[in-house]
Amino acid sequence: MSDLSKYLGPEFKGRYVEDYIRSEYLPQIPIFHLVGGLDKLTEAEKDDSDPDDGKPVSLDEWIRAEGMYCLKVKLRGNDLDWDVDRMLAVYKIGCQELSKLHIEEMHLTADTNEQCETPEYIIEMLHRIREQSEDCCERILYIEQPTERDLTAHRYDMRELSQLKPVIVDESLTDLESFELAMELGWSGVALKTCKGHSSDMVFAAKAQEIGIPYALQDLTNPSLSLIHSVGMGARLYTIMGVEANSRQFFPDATTEAEQRVHSGIFNVRRGVADTS
């Protein structure tokens, strides 16, 4: 097996992937729940347009069912009032429902899907959230890809934003050149996805760990056995916090009975974590 210098340069001579992963799987790993821009936050918001299949629909129902304390909030990126209110509303419902389960931990992330014209939008959003709830602001782990994926289009300097919260490059991360450019522009860390390729994830994770930046493991709705790849990778890496797993929200019946039985700890989230045993 060749060392990582083939991909990352001579400073990685004699360094291998195994040097950057856990020797054993974490027995449990936190699962992120996706709060979509159109998702209903409370059971009272439900109406006849919602599915009636016995599965959770609103955020409060999901938390009661699975106890997720990691919430990824999709924002508009072009409607500051709405985005501030949305973050505060998700925080409030999370606090209310998790307290009933005696779970004190809660983490939020914010994703505008590249819709912010400039980084200053998120800076203003964070200031406004902090003014209304310091605790809500403190619970935001990182901001994901606020601006356009073409890093060369405006070459936004992310340093001011990065001083407030880690800002993670996602859609822009396509190769090692984009990785390097993101670091040059002041981004804080990177987002990995198993569906983009396990090998590239390993190379990016090694580089991130070597230079001391955080990385997240995210999802593009990996259903059925593909979720095992994602959770398994997250359980062997040193992610900033757990792993996304939104297929259980959007494709809850994609797994077979046999998969559910053998890997019940992964497909059935309890108290916010997947059990990898």
pLDDT digits (tens, 9 = 90+) for 119-176: 999 999 999 999 999 999 999 999 999 999 999 999 999 999 999 999 999 999 999 9
CB 202 within 8 A of CB 217: no
Cα 123 from Cα 98, distance rounded (Å): 28
Long-range contacts of 40-46 (CB under 8 A, 24+ apart): 41/89, 41/90, 41/93, 42/93
User: Looking at this protein, which amino acid is placed at residue 101?
Assistant: L
Model confidence at 247, pLDDT cuts 50, 70, 90, reads: confident
Q: What is the pTM of this model?
A: 0.95
Residue 90, H or E segment: helix 80-100
The per-residue pLDDT for range 33-75, each reduced to its tens digit, is 999 999 999 999 999 999 888 899 999 999 999 999 999 999 9
Give me the torsion for CA of 265, 213, 37, 54, rounded to 10°. 0
Model confidence at 223, pLDDT cuts 50, 70, 90, reads: confident
Cα 231 from Cα 228, distance rounded (Å): 5
- In 3-state terms the chain splits into helix, strand, coil percentages (rounded to 5) of 45, 15, 40
Fold of 5-275: TIM Barrel (3.20.20)
